[in-house]
Structure 1
Amino acid sequence: MIASVAGTVLSVHLDSVVVEVGGVGMLVHTTPATAASLRTGQQARLSTSLVVREDSLTLYGFGDDDERALFEQVQTVSGVGPKVALAILSVHAPDVARAAISGGDIVALTKVPGIGKKGAERLVLELRDKVGALPGAAPAATTGTATAGAQPQVVEALVGLGWSAKQAEDAVGRVLKTGEAPGTTSEMLRAALRELGR
């Protein structure tokens, strides 16, 4: 397993980055918050999880080991794959997700695209007694200002998470109309996901 990658960031997208490791550009899928914290040309180190499928090898990257641990843990539940696991971390910070699971907060869990009521109940049933914050784990910092220019990227990320283009555009439009613009691209995405969860 590839536990981490470190190198120069070659490119940053809303939900992925390319990191050069030993002359090889590695595509790493991330949460919008992790991607927003990185800049092209800077040195970066990401905790990673390699998901092996019959027809693909996909690398997922995280700001810290705590995110990676939760990403891998929720996939032990039937019906939860890497896409849904990453969506959980895109909507909720690890501690918030753990609190929702251990507290049986079905409403918070169903705000994640790809998780319905039955899926949320399965997460609670199977992980309630297993989740717990890792000692010394700190939340990843997020940077990057959300502007109207970020709107297409947020819409694209929502479509990638399983919503239709119209649903995504409507949700982002409602977020922008509230008059309280989110401070970061990641916050804009989370606000749009909250709108879609209503």
Structure 2
Amino acid sequence: MISSLTGTVESVGLNHAVITVSGFGMRFSATPQTLAGLRRGESGRVSTSMVVREDSMTLFGFATEDEREVFDVLLGVSGVGPRLALAVLAVYEPEAVRVAASTGDDKAFTKVPGIGPKGARRIVLELTDKLVPTGAPVAAGADGGVSSAVGQPWMEQVLEALTSLGWTEKDAEKAVRDTLRHEPELEESGDVASVLKATLRHLGQGHSSRSGR
């Protein structure tokens, strides 16, 4: 089992990256936050979890072992696959997931695309004793686009990343607009990773709505 990768970052996409280790290019899926910490041509390291199925073997990468641990626990919940588990970690930090699970906050999980009220209750029920808060601080979301952002290359990349995580294009665009309205400096920077991370933070705190799918 591959538990981590350390090597040269060959490429970074919207939902995956490739790190070359001893001549082998290892591709893995990851959250936008993890991918934002990788730079092409530089050394990179990620903790990994491999999901093996009858017809595939997929590698998932994480910036910390804490994220991987929560990912693996989420996979043990009925109806939660790797894509959904990754979406949870794209919206919430590991400690926030622990807090939501231990306090029975099922509404927190409904903010993740693909998780409805029923699924959220099941997640809380099955995780109550499996994820215990460590006491680590949980980052609070900021309070909270902009018409000029539409059509910008970076805007298209942010929307593509959000829709790949499960949000509809309409909800993704609204979330980005709301984020840029409260943090206009992000639009000026045009940095995909920064805008994406801020939008996910806003979504996690419930400042932007999404369709109940």
TM-score > 0.5, shorter chain as reference: yes
Q: 1:94 maps to what in 2?
A: 94
The one-letter code of the counterpart of 2:167 is W
Per-residue CA deviations over 1:9-33 (Å, capped at 9, x if unaligned) read: 0111232211011112111111111
Counterpart residue number, 2:23: 23
Q: Specify whether residues 189 and 170 from structure 1 end up closer, same or farther in structure 2 by C-alpha distance, changes over 3 A only.
A: same
Equivalent-residue separation in structure 1 for 2:129 and 2:210 (angstroms): 26
Amino acid at match of 1:157: A
- SS where residue 196 of structure 1 aligns? coil
Question: In the alignment, which residue of structure 1 is the partner of 2:114?
Answer: 114
* Matched residue type, 1:40: R
Question: How much is the aligned-residue C-alpha RMSD, in angstroms?
Answer: 2.5
- 8 Å CA contact 2:179, 2:198 repeated in 1: no
Question: d(CA) in 2 for partners of 1:157 and 1:59?
Answer: 19
* Residue aligning to 2:38: 38
Question: Which is further off, 147-156 or 31-40?
Answer: 147-156
Instruction: Structure 2 unaligned segments of length 5 or more: list them.
Output: 139-148
- Of the three residues 154, 157, 169, the one matched with 2:158 is 154
Given that residues 98 and 133 in structure 1 are in contact (C-alpha distance below 8 angstroms), is that contact kept between their aligned partners in structure 2? yes
Partner of 2:2 in structure 1?
2
* Residue of structure 2 aligned with 1:175, choices 174, 179, 195: 179
What does 1:114-133 align with in structure 2 at a 5 Å threshold? 114-133=114-133
What is the TM-score when the length of structure 2 is the normalising length? 0.80
Aligned length: 190
CA distance in 2, matches of 1:197, 1:163: 7
Residue 197 of structure 2 aligns with which residue? 186
Mean CA deviation greater in 66-75 or 169-178: 169-178
Distance 1:47 1:138, change over 3 A: farther
Q: Deviations over 1:51-89 (max 9, x none)?
A: 112222111000111100100101111000000100010
> d(CA) in 2 for partners of 1:101 and 1:138?
16
> In 1, Cα distance between the equivalents of 2:5 and 2:183?
39
Distance in 2, Cα, partners of 1:103 & 1:197? 23
Q: 1:181 to 1:106 in 2, by over 3 A?
A: farther
Task: State whether residues 2 and 50 of structure 2, in contact with CA within 8 Å, keep that contact through their aligned partners in structure 1.
Answer: yes
In 2: Cα distance, 1:138 partner to 1:49 partner: 25
Seen in structure 2, the aligned counterparts of structure 1 residues 138 and 28 have a Cα distance that, compared at 3 Å, is farther
Q: Percent identity?
A: 48
